[in-house]
Amino acid sequence: MITEITNILHFFSIGGLISLLLFFLFRYWHDIRGKIAVCFILSIVSYLILNLDVYVQIHPAFRNFLFLCVLALPFFYWLITLAAFDDHFEIKTWYWFLLIGKLLFSTIATYPELGQISLRGPVESERILSRILLPSIFSLGFVLTAIIQIYIGRKDDLVESRRTLRQIHILISGIVIAINIFSHLFLRGKELSEILDLVNGIFAWGLILAFQYLMFELKDGLIQKKQEIIEEKLPTLDPILQKKLIDAFEKERLYRSEGLTIRVLAEELQVHEYKLRRLINGNLGFRNFNDFLNRYRIQEACELLLDSSKDEIPVIRIAMDLGYQSLGPFNRAFKELTALTPTEYRKNRTDSKINLNDFEKSKPK
């Protein structure tokens, strides 16, 4: 009975995933995040199909293909986490080498026992367990890295619906992963395994429904909408709070504080943190607190680098004075906003393309 219910949940999950797959294909295929989401969904569908194939009845060639997709699942889980929650996400070449290495390592380790591996229930054979243990640990590394990145980035995220998605993502993903590891690698005994498989199916289905709700309600989530079209209604403006914020940055230069977070800023302004998040995101148009902070820090850095009388000040000193704890984050933020490194910017100060008015036009009012 429990097995039948679990199978029904898996079929429901596959149906939900297919609807999400079509959604991403037709609405967001233009965006790299949409393509990653499609790969991620295909990997999950492959896992569910193999999970339903308890007696290994699928044709070997198709089964091998599905297993290859499952082996890629932890990588795409990590990648979609980066894509969903990093506003400046871009694919790097080494990501693909990481995927190829993961697939080669896992394939070589598991292929001799591939026909005997079942994704349902505990692994009873010590021989099979020894084959899948290292690939499982490798996969777990991707998943844990993704969850840590989600948690760390939460404090600077200004998009409320995306912050909620982070919490859902961490909670349900953590439970599903823990159940999978325990039931497949450590658990012995069919009866308890069936119950855990059912619980796992319920949470997995819940995660899929959460994603469906997010996507079909068209909230800010995995994909940023194209900038052409719909002009969204801004939240009600709080002019007093906005003036306090702008004064704190432009007159008191609070952005120079090392390690400044939105929580610390809210305490400094004596305002609720959620109100400050809504103001910076809804009225000033920033999706991430660090972007808002860098906007002011890099503008002052540009002013210093364009001033020939300040040439004796080394770049690292400018970075530290503006609140950066090391040169790396400063250089990355600077190049992102100006397309040049600080040193290049200083050397090319006479270039007509370098214009501080670009910053003034985008300054929060």
CATH 1.10.10.60, the chain: domain bounds: 239-361
Q: Which two tokens stand for residue 262?
A: 């939105």
Residue 88: DSSP 8-state: T
Residue 341: φ, ψ to 5°: -80, 160
From 314, 309, 305, select the one nearest 337 (Cα to Cα). Answer: 305
- Which residues pair with residue 157 across a beta bridge? 288
Q: Which two tokens stand for residue 145?
A: 């890295």
From 209, 73, 197, select the one nearest 136 (Cα to Cα). Answer: 73
Q: Which two tokens stand for residue 271?
A: 């305002």
Task: Classify residue 230 as exposed, middle or buried by CB count within 10 Å of its CB (0-12, 13-18, 19+).
Answer: exposed
* Residue 221: per-residue pLDDT: 46
CATH topology of domain 239-361: Arc Repressor Mutant, subunit A (1.10.10)
Residue type, 229: I
Please, what is the Cα angle at 149 between 165 and 338, to 5 degrees? 100
Arch. (CATH architecture) of 2-216: Up-down Bundle (1.20)
Residue type, 89: F
Question: Can you give the C-alpha Rg of the chain in angstroms?
Answer: 25
Compute the distance between CA of residue 338 and CA of residue 152 in angstroms, rounded to an integer. Answer: 26
Answer whether 117's CB lies under 8 Å from 132's CB. Answer: yes
* Residue 318: per-residue pLDDT: 93
Look at residue 77 and give its three-state secondary structure: helix
Long-range interactions of 59-62: CB distance < 8 A, separation 24+: 60/115
Please report, in angstroms and rounded to a whole number, the separation of the first and last CA atoms in the chain.
63
CATH 1.20.1070.10, the chain: domain bounds: 2-216
pTM over 0.85: no
Look at residue 15 and give its three-state secondary structure: helix
Residue stretches of the chain with pLDDT short of 70: 1, 56, 112, 114-125, 170-171, 174-175, 177-237, 351-365
Compute the distance between CA of residue 29 and CA of residue 22 in angstroms, rounded to an integer. Answer: 10
